Amino acid sequence: MKTRAALIYQAPSPWLIEEVDLDEPKAGEVMVKMVATGLCHSDDHPTRSDALVVRERPYCAGHEGGAIVVQVGPGVTTLQEGDHILTPFIPACGYCRWCASGDQQLCDHGRLYAASAQVDGTYRMHHNGNDVGTAALLGTFAEYQVLDERSCVKIDKDLPLDVVCLLSCGVPTGWGGAVHGGEIKPGDVVICMGVGGVGINSVQGAAHCGAAHVIAVDPVEFKRTESLKLGATEAFSNMEEATEFARSITNGQGADSTMITTDVIRSEYVGQAFTSIRKGGTVVITAQGNYGSGMPINLFEISMYQKRIQGNLSGMVSPRRSIPQLIDLYRSGPLKLDELVTRRYKFDDLNQGFTDMLAGINLRGVVVFDS
Ligand SMILES: NC(=O)c1ccc[n+]([C@@H]2O[C@H](COP(=O)([O-])OP(=O)(O)OC[C@H]3O[C@@H](n4cnc5c(N)ncnc54)[C@H](O)[C@@H]3O)[C@@H](O)[C@H]2O)c1
Ligand SMILES: [Zn+2]
Ligand SMILES: [Zn+2]
């Protein structure tokens, strides 16, 4: 069938909304009608090659989706037509070492944000005769898409898809970075460096763990103001002031943990975060950097001060565990989601959504299809 999808053929490039051909779902796959998709910074990197370089072209990104199943392929057992689903960016094969040991976010079938084929190596979307690679086996920047059932998490139909779509990436990633990566304890002092669509959820997660101080750092005033509404206790425009404040309330020790959720990670950000933590403290790196970049950290301090640097993928929890858990916290109140959606866009205004993200005027922008 014909549908419309946002593609890039090269970088730098804006998203081009094109008519594409979409195949029928194969065994174990479903066709979905996309209802909404959040605009995560990870979808912007490939358009400018600042952290992710997409080698295959054309490429359809988008991974923070909420959709409705419209067709079920042969052998699908977990989904039916009409089901509402979210699209975590790592599938759950159930059999690899990682899935088998409860770390589904590291599933060997994950393709992260690369322009990939489906798990069987073939493509479902085509443009002018070219196979379209999709981000993370998904490609939610499309009106219809064919997905592996292992990439879909079924949710209740009463949940607003234009809000809970954020549970496909930004919310569990930020929340889990704090809760699981930072292992935050009641009374902790936590710095959240970069409070955009992901980092604001590290703020929420840290507050939920009982941190005494959740110190938000962002150069954008709007982000600082919003973070104070969602759990931050203090907000600063730079790491120097935040670190000075953390030391001033800890007898000079520094923060228990610092989350890095900046737009792109730069090596000096790791250095700043490493300096900001106390002995035995933890830096959690969530933001994406280039393959070639390294970290300027003090090699004496890492062993003699027993400091820890922890990478965070997708909140360090299997999406099939984190999504239902976070839905419960949304329904019962501690997790705010509606407040995270600053602006909604038509699909045709996708580029405007990214322009606004880069201008710092959204906590999260969401594309609502058919709006
Ligand atoms: N590890 C994962 O699983 C995972 C998942 C999703 C996103 N990401 C990555 O997380 C990062 C954040 O994504 P996002 O969607 O929240 O982006 P965003 O653009 O919404 O937010 C980034 C924020 O960082 C702020 N910032 C920039 N430089 C800063 C600095 N020096 N100090 C403090 N704040 C600074 C910006 O003002 C902005 O508010 C991106 O690199 C993204 O690719 C990683
Ligand atoms: Zn994302
Ligand atoms: Zn697996």
Decide whether any atom of ligand 1 lies within 6 Å of the 286 Cβ: yes
For residue 320, pLDDT over 70 is answered with yes
Residue 38 has a pLDDT of 98
Closest ligand by atom to 198 CA: 1
Task: Give the alpha-carbon dihedral of 56, 60, 62, 67, to 10 degrees.
Answer: -140
- The string of pLDDT tens digits covering residues 201-214 is 999 999 999 999 99
For Cα atoms 105, 110, 115, give the angle at the middle one, nearest 5 degrees.
135
Residue 50 has a pLDDT of 81
Distance (angstroms) between ligand 2 centre and the Cα of 227 equals: 19
pLDDT band at 56 (very low <50, low <70, confident <90, very high): low
pLDDT band at 227 (very low <50, low <70, confident <90, very high): very high
Decide whether any atom of ligand 1 lies within 6 Å of the 63 Cβ: no
Bridge partners of residue 255, in order along the sequence = 277
For residue 371, pLDDT over 70 is answered with no
Distance (angstroms) between ligand 1 centre and the Cα of 35 equals: 25
pLDDT band at 183 (very low <50, low <70, confident <90, very high): very high
Residue 46 has a pLDDT of 87
Residue 113 has a pLDDT of 67
Taking a C-beta distance cutoff of 8 angstroms, is the pair 142, 6 a contact?
A: yes
Decide whether any atom of ligand 1 lies within 6 Å of the 133 Cβ: no
pLDDT band at 11 (very low <50, low <70, confident <90, very high): confident
Taking a C-beta distance cutoff of 8 angstroms, is the pair 38, 64 a contact?
A: yes
Decide whether any atom of ligand 1 lies within 6 Å of the 190 Cβ: no
Q: Whose CA is nearest to atom 8 of ligand 1?
A: 287
Decide whether any atom of ligand 1 lies within 6 Å of the 223 Cβ: yes
Q: Among 111, 238, 262, 312, which is best to mutate for testing ligand 1, by the most ligand atoms less than 8 A from CB?
A: 262
Closest ligand by atom to 140 CA: 2
DSSP string, 205-247: HHHHTT-SEEEEE-S-HHHHHHHHHTT-SEEESSHHHHHHHHH
> Cα-flanking dihedrals φ and ψ of residue 91, to 5°?
-75, 180
- The string of pLDDT tens digits covering residues 235-261 is 999 999 999 999 999 999 999 999 999
Q: What is the mean pLDDT of residues 350-356?
A: 98
Closest ligand by atom to 318 CA: 3
Decide whether any atom of ligand 1 lies within 6 Å of the 202 Cβ: no
Decide whether any atom of ligand 1 lies within 6 Å of the 360 Cβ: yes
Distance (angstroms) between ligand 1 centre and the Cα of 123 equals: 30
Residue 273 has a pLDDT of 98
Q: Whose CA is nearest to atom 43 of ligand 1?
A: 42
Taking a C-beta distance cutoff of 8 angstroms, is the pair 309, 274 a contact?
A: yes
Decide whether any atom of ligand 1 lies within 6 Å of the 3 Cβ: no
- The string of pLDDT tens digits covering residues 74-130 is 999 999 999 999 999 999 889 999 999 999 999 998 887 677 889 888 999 999 999
Decide whether any atom of ligand 1 lies within 6 Å of the 171 Cβ: no
